[in-house]
Amino acid sequence: MLTLLGITIFVLAILASIGLHELGHLMPAKRFGVKATEYFVGFGPTVWSTRRGETEYGLKAIPFGGYVRMIGMFPPRPDGTVRSSSTGRLGLLVEQARKESEADVLTEEDRKRTFYNLSVPKKLTVMFGGPVMNLLIAVLLFTVMFVGFGLPAPSLTVANVTPCAPSSATDDGTCQTGELPSAAAAAGITPGDTITAVNGQQVSSWEEFTEELRSVGAGNTVVTVERDGQSLALPVELALTPRPVIVDGEDTGRTEMRPFLGVGPSFVLQPQPLTAVPGEVWDLTVRSAVALATFPAKLAGVAGAAFSDGERDPEGPIGVVGASRISGDVAAADLPSSWKVAQLIGIIASVNLFLFLFNMIPLLPLDGGHIAGALYEGARRKVATLRGQPDPGPVDVARLLPVAYGVAILLIGISVLLLYADIVSPVRIT
């Protein structure tokens, strides 16, 4: 039941994100006078629609994306006609798209309200509107997650005690013959204890606790814990042990000699200050951009896991079905409710951040392709002005439609691969 609830929340949130993305295109388009005839979430057969003024709003059966239909997305040919000028298959496709774009231009008043007649800044505003809406959603949700719930941070409550020093317990949790118990096990520290002091020095965080342990070094010391409302001073004998060097959460592969107590912390959500949000969001944006750049290379691993016995990379790409499944796993996990809500918010925010970055790729049919076309149009007009030449007019992005069709086919293939992989070899979280 909880799994289904998590999946439902994720799907509804993504549909809302798609709707807001398209609204980011629709609002400035209407503000600039462009005639928008359709606003739909989804593709395929229409499930529901209603007309408000000149625009039909509705939902379609396949909830993978959405669109706003604005008249005059592609300009006529330079001679003002939309007749076919090529017997080649791609040429015919271009001319057909041009005709369809002109089909909604019924009057001279409509021609003044076409997208291609907008100025470059207005075209950029309309096309940036969708991706920027996803970015705003991501920033808002990440702010709620970071400030309202927090990030996982180690607490002073002991989650586990390592039985041996070094850790080399047998399967039943006992130490192998000849192995000494860890300092924590020998002192009687147990899971659930809350550490309050080291050698009489009060500590208020896990970082302070580990620093105090380093400062006392090897030998005898006293760790004070709180257990069942009572304060217990437990003598411990610390020994220096090779420990991994961790920098920014990454194992460097190096080790250093440090006192080894043998306790692990439980984690709690620690709310972050509002001032920390920009840095956290920037870090996530950089990581997402790197993941997007390595996306094609990682598809080979997805295919290997889908069509062979290979393991699915948990850090690799997933599709909508995979993200829905993970949302369901989060909802059903044995975690406090606050952790579940925070993680679901984080997943939805991450998807919106990815949608922003993905749509900025400068290829049609993505928004980035239209943005690139508008920027080229602006540069071309600027050069013409400097040379004293006449206005060259809008850029004919229809000529790039063969590229758009190729990209669309590629995206459909990738979507099918991810869908299949998410079903037969899903990414699991713990």
Cα separations in angstroms, 354 against 209, 311, 421:
38, 24, 20
Residue 157 pLDDT class (50, 70, 90 cuts): very high
The pLDDT value recorded for residue 372 is: 92
Q: Taking a C-beta distance cutoff of 8 angstroms, is the pair 344, 332 a contact?
A: no
Tell me what percent of the residues of the chain surpass a pLDDT of 90: 37
Q: Which residue has the higher pLDDT, 223 or 309?
A: 223
Residue 149 pLDDT class (50, 70, 90 cuts): very high
Question: Residue 404: which of 359, 365, 362 has the closest Cα?
Answer: 365
Q: Give residue-wise pLDDT tens across range 208-248.
A: 998 888 888 878 888 899 999 899 899 988 888 777 777 66
**Local structure of 266: helix, strand or coil:** strand
Q: List beta partners, residue 48.
A: 59
Domain-wise residue ranges, the chain: 2-146+350-424, 152-270
The pLDDT value recorded for residue 254 is: 79
The pLDDT value recorded for residue 94 is: 60
- Cα dihedral sign, 311-314-319-320: positive
pLDDT at 405 over 60: yes
pLDDT at 280 over 80: yes
The arithmetic mean of pLDDT across residues 5-32, rounded, is 92
The pLDDT value recorded for residue 170 is: 46
The arithmetic mean of pLDDT across residues 362-389, rounded, is 90
The pLDDT value recorded for residue 83 is: 42
Q: Please tell me the least confidently modeled range out of 7-11, 153-157, 425-429.
A: 425-429
Q: List beta partners, residue 50.
A: 57
Q: Taking a C-beta distance cutoff of 8 angstroms, is the pair 398, 97 a contact?
A: yes
Q: Please tell me the least confidently modeled range out of 49-58, 202-211, 346-355, 395-404.
A: 395-404
The pLDDT value recorded for residue 174 is: 60
Calculate the CA 308 to chain-centre distance. Answer: 28
Listed in sequence order, the residues at least 6 apart from 181 whose beta carbon sits closer than 8 Å to its beta carbon are: 163, 164, 165, 175
Q: Which residue has the higher pLDDT, 306 or 343?
A: 343
User: For the chain, what's the residue count?
Assistant: 430
Alpha carbons within 13 angstroms on the beta-carbon side of residue 407 total: 16
Q: List beta partners, residue 240.
A: 259
The pLDDT value recorded for residue 249 is: 63
Residue 404 pLDDT class (50, 70, 90 cuts): confident
Q: Give residue-wise pLDDT tens across range 168-217.
A: 444 455 666 667 788 888 888 999 999 999 888 899 999 999 888 888 88
Question: Residue 102: which of 405, 404, 396 has the closest Cα?
Answer: 396
Q: What is the DSSP letter of 149?
A: I
**Buried b / exposed e along 248-282 (16+ C-beta atoms within 10 A):** eeeeeeeeeebbbbbbebeebbeebeeeebeeebe
Calculate the CA 9 to chain-centre distance. Answer: 16
The pLDDT value recorded for residue 347 is: 92
pLDDT at 127 over 90: yes
Listed in sequence order, the residues at least 6 apart from 125 whose beta carbon sits closer than 8 Å to its beta carbon are: 28, 32
How confident is the prediction for the chain on average, in pLDDT? 84
pLDDT at 116 over 80: yes
Q: Which residue has the higher pLDDT, 176 or 16?
A: 16
Q: Give residue-wise pLDDT tens across range 408-421.
A: 888 888 888 888 88
Long-range contacts from 313-320, C-beta under 8 angstroms, 24+ separation = 314/427, 314/428, 314/429, 316/427, 317/291, 317/418, 318/418, 318/421, 318/422, 318/427, 319/415, 319/418, 319/419, 319/421, 319/422, 320/14, 320/64, 320/419
The pLDDT value recorded for residue 95 is: 59
Q: Give residue-wise pLDDT tens across range 77-108.
A: 655 544 444 444 445 556 566 666 666 666 77
The pLDDT value recorded for residue 56 is: 92
Interatomic CA distance for residues 261 and 153, integer angstroms: 20
Type of residue found at 122: K
Q: Taking a C-beta distance cutoff of 8 angstroms, is the pair 287, 354 a contact?
A: no
pTM confidence score: 0.84
Q: Which CATH architecture is the domain 152-270 placed in?
A: Roll (2.30)
Question: Residue 158: which of 269, 248, 261, 259 has the closest Cα?
Answer: 261
At 133, list the tokens. Answer: 């809406």
Active site annotation includes 311: no
Q: Taking a C-beta distance cutoff of 8 angstroms, is the pair 359, 337 a contact?
A: no
